[in-house]
Amino acid sequence: MREHCSHARFVWNLACEQQSWWRRGRDSPPGLAEQCRQLSDARSAFAWLAAGSVIVQQQALRDFSHAMANFFNRTHGRPSWRKAGRHEGFRIVAVKPEHLRRHNRKAGAVWIPKVGWIRFRLSRAIPTGVKSYRVTRDRAGRWHVAFAVVPRPIPGPGTGEAVGVDRGVAASAALSTGKLLRVPRLSPARQRRMRLLQRKLRRAVRGSNRRAHTRVQIARLFARQSDLRKDWSEKTSTSLAREFDWIYVENLQIKIMTRSAKGSTQKPGKNVRQKSGLNREILAAGWGRLVRRLEDKAPGRVQRINPAYTSQRCSACGHIAAESRKSQALFSCVACAYTENADVNAARNIAAGHAVTARGGDGAARPVNREPQFPHVGERLKSLPK
């Protein structure tokens, strides 16, 4: 299976190289049919490539062609090179029913070309009508098989209730109902082991067996943290999709928010280490995965709200003032003395669909309230618990 991963990565990188050589004025890069013909010639010339599965190699070319079509349609980014140890996997299509077996409630088997039957643990029931599956190997050395199927959306309760979700660092997600949700982290013992292993990795000689073994140990701890974050995102998104008909989240530009602050040689950045720590906390909170899974499970019921001044607006009286945000966790309105958790207050503004912006008739930048962006939930703020 590792040879299948190497062959698929090799063929993908060759297709990337052919695409990178194309410039205006040159001939067009070869298409899928021409690349498949070239693959047949390469398999005839090289025995190590012919020893692999042609199904795996041709599917890598089809995946690259599909990725380029998505790039030209401006729905995805440009396909990039794949690296050994980081991009390990291959895909099989046209799966027949006899290629899948279920041994018992916890185990099954799948047929892989030139490998045979591979037993795997059933984390969930195999869906009907599977046409393809993908086998991957992560940095921790674990193998995974994923069957491609479009899941059914989760139906709402039908009560018309709405919830606002404010994403933060101290609380990964604050709901307008007053509930604070946090992504589980590694235990203190595992965090200490992570730091010790990272120090050991810095002292190890590059290319040595000791360094490779240490990297695998670190990868296992990172994989555990990633599994915890994924599990939290799946359970939280499923719970929200089942309990509420409308879900309102901030329209955050996470990629821009987590940019490095080191700057350039001519204009070096300030507080670079502090910004790096903040970026790590933002990425560890799983902001993007939570909203993405919500949109997958509740299509058409997730609305993105402009986050401007949602943390400075009082959810009780509507007064906007930066002085009301006393600290990271405390919000106390300077107009009506309403006190609440800052994240919960922002979540209630998001649930009401409020979007404010800085504009003024005299040229001075000051916040001005707008009408609720979604009128059918504009009156539900009064029903939310204070």
Domain boundary assignment for the chain = 1-150, 162-303, 322-383
Nearest-angstrom CA–CA distance, 12 and 79:
9
Q: Which of 88, 250, 295, 379 is catalytic?
A: 250
Model confidence, pTM: 0.79
Evaluate the CA torsion angle 76, 80, 84, 86 in order and state its sign.
Answer: negative
Catalytic residue flag (residue 296):
no
135 burial level (CB within 10 Å; 0-12, 13-18, 19+): buried
Q: Which two tokens stand for residue 312?
A: 């400075």
Residue 9 has a pLDDT of 95
Per the CB < 8 A criterion, the answer to whether 173 and 232 are in contact is no
- pLDDT tens for each residue of 240-288: 999 999 999 999 888 888 888 887 777 788 888 888 888 888 888 889 9
Residue 128 has a pLDDT of 80
DSSP string, 352-384: TT---EE--TTS---EE----SSGGGTTGGGGS
Per the CB < 8 A criterion, the answer to whether 83 and 12 are in contact is no
Q: Which of 88, 166, 234, 379 is catalytic?
A: 166
Catalytic residue flag (residue 243):
no
Q: Which of 63, 88, 340, 343 is catalytic?
A: 343
Nearest-angstrom CA–CA distance, 268 and 266:
6
Half-sphere exposure of 4 (CA within 13 A, CB side): 21
> Which of these, 295, 299, 313, 324, lies nearest to 352 by C-alpha position?
313
Nearest-angstrom CA–CA distance, 131 and 271:
51
Give Cβ neighbours of residue 118 (< 8 Å, ≥ 6 apart).
1, 109, 110, 111, 112, 145
The per-residue pLDDT string of the chain (386 residues; one tens digit each, 9 = 90 and over) reads: 999 999 999 999 999 999 887 766 677 888 899 999 999 999 999 999 999 999 999 999 999 999 999 999 999 999 999 999 889 999 998 878 888 888 998 999 999 999 999 999 998 888 788 889 999 999 888 999 999 888 889 998 988 899 999 998 888 999 999 999 999 999 999 999 999 999 999 999 999 999 999 999 999 999 999 999 999 999 999 999 999 999 999 998 888 888 888 877 777 888 888 888 888 888 888 899 999 999 999 999 999 998 888 989 998 888 999 999 888 889 999 999 899 999 999 999 999 875 443 333 333 334 444 444 444 444 444 455 54
> Which of these, 84, 88, 18, 3, lies nearest to 48 by C-alpha position?
3
Catalytic residue flag (residue 343):
yes
